[in-house]
Amino acid sequence: MMYEYFKNLESSLEKKINETPKSPNARKKYSLEVARIGKRLYSGKDKIAWTGIGVPFDILNTMGITSCFVEFVGAMLASTGASGNFIKEAENTGYASDSCSYHRAILGALSQNLIPKPDFLVGTTLPCSGGLAVIENMARKFKKSLFVLNVPQEDSLQNIKYLSDQLKDLVNFIQKETGINFDENKLKEGIKKTNKARDLMIEAYNLAKKIPSPVDSRILKDFGIVTALMLGTDAGIEVAKAYRDEFQAKVNSGESGVKGEKIRLLWIQNRIQFRYQLEKWMEEEFSASIVIDELNDITWEKIDVDDPFTGIAKRIISIPFNGKAEKRIEHLKFLAKEYKIQGAINPCNWGCRQGTGERGLISDGLKEIGVPVVNLEIDCIDQRNFAEGQVKTRIAAFIEMISN
Amino acid sequence: MYYLGIDIGSLSCDAVLIDDTKKIVASSVVPTGAKNIEAIKRATHEVIEISGILESDIKASVSTGYGRERVSNRIAAITEITCHAKGIKEVFGKIDVLIDIGGQDSKSIRIDSNGRVIDFAMNDKCAAGTGRFLEAMARALQVDIDELSDLDHGSVGNVTLSSMCTVFAESEVVSLIADGVEVKEIVKGLNSAIASRTSSLVKRVAPELKGLSVAMSGGVARNNGVVRALKEVIETNITVYEKPDIIGALGAALFAMEKSM
């Protein structure tokens, strides 16, 4: 069923792109690559791995492993409108209804045998222990080996060495679990592609900072976190280039992503993943645009192709979600200034301790630089747990406040 | 000319008519019921009847409240947060913090000296601590909701109720009744639960209340017991307008006047 879904999605997107090759198509190219990853995960032919967030997908890609972080599945189920049944299934097996719905959705799908059996699993200790617990559940169910990357929080030479040694152990683990031999030259080629995609993404983000911004509120939704799955591949470069080119063309022609852009907003953490026209409503009603998401940023230096494990270790440690809230808040302040935003929206995803636990610190931190925050207290995955009227009132009042 | 503000909430629909001098010439509060369009018509009809004007004398109207988009012939729909801030500024002058507890929402609003909203916080998902909560508790106690206002008189405050969930709190009330606990103590417990929940909203927009003026609006502000309990918890005086329900509609009427000039 899932294989057919991704296959159909792939062919319909290919058709649309081919029909209008000169139209803006960055988002379609991105979705096409996502569909291809989904298809490979469910093909039954590829070597696959389920992972946590922050895993070095370039290492996995260059070793011929199709891999994906588990939260992606929760988001995908929500976007297709199917998450409710799976969440209910997870609750039936004892998961608390106030735990993270990203994780409940995948656990429900797991119990319904809708998750393909991996060759191995890779967990990370960031950004949360809930995600790691899901991967442990999967490893137990599939009776497959799990490798856990213990990611240190502080950026120090000692910690970088500690993590890069673990990355080398990960490579040995993958060789042992799959029988695939590690090829250093392939990794070097992959890192060159990672660096190229990085440069293009930085260019795209810099263009998004322009006033008015060439982005609308939807085009960069989930972009940064999901494009990580394509690192080390030509597809990653193609998608990043499509974004850069589309934004450049708009900037050159003076076209803004949102007509008459008045309000520039920062979205904190994850977007609402189920089909809901919040962004469109904000654009039409208030000429307000989400020009930047917290998860859309490059926080790492170019990776040295002759020392890839050190560079990748630095990249993983640099993720703003890794470590103290203070690191995250400094990053949010940086984004707010860079993108000249007037307000930030924090969904405070239900059940996410980082989403809700750091709520006050984030509000206070951004307030220090004159950026107000509205906390929505919503569930980004479980539509059953979503009150539209309250959300619209909060956002409308927030925009009225900013406008005054 | 006259200006109309309509606040269509989950429990009540409030209408305020003002004249060119911003004077309130008529106000009306009617139950929203299941058909909010009917409630809007009824409230509008009432203020027209009370004032004795013609509908054509109304130059502009602005709507607010959760059903604000349902009001026809409006020149704008503005959130209740902005409208309550506007309304309270009109009746009391300078107010720093406004607590608005309506049918299904409670809000704390920080206001600057010009009556503009500079911060706000709303209740989390549950309706605990709102008008719906009080309605459910009145039902459990088998009293009219308006009677709740002073039923806590003479209590010693020895009952603690859940402030987290309306359903749990209702079950608790039923159990307390079965245990023979006096109604005044149960009501005091309810008021304290609402006050506890609301005070955290207040602290979010004003961590330090010393030197700040605090007012309350919305239907729950008519409940003296809740206001008393809230004063105790936040250790600050709270000013309540004689008709706290109509503050949002008043704000909307003032916006109608401003926007049509």
DSSP string, B46-114: HHHHHHT--GGGEEEEEEESTTGGG-TT-SEE--HHHHHHHHHHHHHS--SEEEEE-SS-EEEEEE-TT
User: What are the tokens at A89?
Assistant: 């299934």
Which tens digit of pLDDT belongs to each residue from B148-167?
888 888 888 888 876 567 77
| Cβ pair B71, B63 in contact under 8 A | yes
| Cβ pair A322, A150 in contact under 8 A | no
Q: Out of A360, A390, A401, whose CB is closest to B118? A: A401
Q: How far is B28 from chain A (nearest CA, A)?
A: 23
| Cβ pair A68, A229 in contact under 8 A | yes
Residues of A in contact with B70 (CB under 8 A): none
Q: How far is B30 from chain A (nearest CA, A)?
A: 21
Q: How far is B121 from chain A (nearest CA, A)?
A: 8
| Side chain identity at residue A323, one-letter code | G
Which tens digit of pLDDT belongs to each residue from A274-291?
888 899 999 999 999 999
Cβ-proximal residues to A143 (8 Å cutoff; 6+ apart), any chain: none
Q: Out of B66, B117, B124, whose CB is closest to A393? A: B66
Q: Between chains, do A397 and B82 touch, taking CB under 8 Å as contact?
A: yes
| Cβ pair A62, A187 in contact under 8 A | yes
Which tens digit of pLDDT belongs to each residue from A162-186?
999 999 999 999 999 999 999 999 9
User: What are the tokens at B69?
Assistant: 């988009």
> Mapping DSSP to helix (H, G, I), strand (E, B) and coil, where does residue B222 land?
helix
User: What are the tokens at A247?
Assistant: 């934004």
The 8-class DSSP code of residue A118 comes to: P
More confident residue, A155 or B103: A155
Residue B163: its pLDDT value, please?
Answer: 58
Residues of A in contact with B78 (CB under 8 A): 400
B83 → chain A, closest CA residue: A397
Residues of B in contact with A390 (CB under 8 A): 105, 122
| Side chain identity at residue B256, one-letter code | A
> Mapping DSSP to helix (H, G, I), strand (E, B) and coil, where does residue A37 land?
helix
Q: Out of A372, A389, A398, whose CB is closest to B66? A: A389
Residue B58: its pLDDT value, please?
Answer: 96
| Cβ pair A86, A105 in contact under 8 A | yes
Q: How far, in Å, CA of A270 to CA of A79, rounded?
A: 13
| Cβ pair B60, B3 in contact under 8 A | yes
Residues of A in contact with B118 (CB under 8 A): 401
Q: How far, in Å, CA of B206 to CA of B108, rounded?
A: 9
Percent of chain B exceeding pLDDT 70 equals 97
Which tens digit of pLDDT belongs to each residue from B178-219?
889 898 999 998 898 889 889 989 999 999 999 999 999 998
Handedness of CA A194, A196, A200, A205 (dihedral sign): positive
Residue B125 pLDDT > 70: no
| Cβ pair A250, A214 in contact under 8 A | yes
Q: Between chains, do B125 and A387 touch, taking CB under 8 Å as contact?
A: yes
The dihedrals phi and psi of A325, each to the nearest 5 degrees, come to: -60, -30
Helices (H), chain B: 36-51, 80-92, 131-141, 166-178, 183-205, 224-234, 247-259
Residue in the structure block whose two tokens are 């809740």: B226
Q: Between chains, do A393 and B121 touch, taking CB under 8 Å as contact?
A: no
The dihedrals phi and psi of B2, each to the nearest 5 degrees, come to: -125, 155
Q: How far, in Å, CA of B61 to CA of B57, rounded?
A: 11
Mean pLDDT of chain B: 91
| Cβ pair B190, B134 in contact under 8 A | yes
User: What are the tokens at A81?
Assistant: 């409108």
> Mapping DSSP to helix (H, G, I), strand (E, B) and coil, where does residue B254 land?
helix
| Cβ pair A244, A313 in contact under 8 A | no
Which tens digit of pLDDT belongs to each residue from B60-90?
999 999 899 888 889 999 999 999 999 999 9
- ipTM of the predicted assembly exceeds 0.95: no
Residues written for chain A:
404
Task: Name B120's bridge partners.
Answer: B109
Q: Between chains, do A393 and B119 touch, taking CB under 8 Å as contact?
A: no
Q: Between chains, do A400 and B79 touch, taking CB under 8 Å as contact?
A: yes
Q: How far, in Å, CA of A248 to CA of A204, rounded?
A: 8
From the list A208, A374, A197, A106, the residue with the least C-alpha distance to B204 is A374
Q: Between chains, do A393 and B116 touch, taking CB under 8 Å as contact?
A: no
Residue A194: its pLDDT value, please?
Answer: 98
Confidence grade of residue B124 (pLDDT, cut at 50, 70, 90)? low
Q: Per-residue pLDDT for chain A (404 aa), expressed as one digit of tens each?
A: 789 999 999 999 999 999 988 888 999 999 999 999 999 999 999 999 999 999 999 999 999 999 999 988 888 888 888 888 888 888 888 888 888 888 999 999 998 888 999 999 999 998 888 889 999 999 999 999 999 999 999 999 999 999 999 999 999 999 999 999 999 999 999 999 999 999 999 999 999 999 999 999 999 999 999 999 999 999 999 999 999 999 999 999 999 999 999 999 999 998 988 888 899 999 999 999 999 999 999 999 999 999 999 999 999 999 999 988 999 999 999 999 999 999 999 999 888 877 778 888 999 999 999 999 999 988 888 888 788 888 999 999 999 999 98
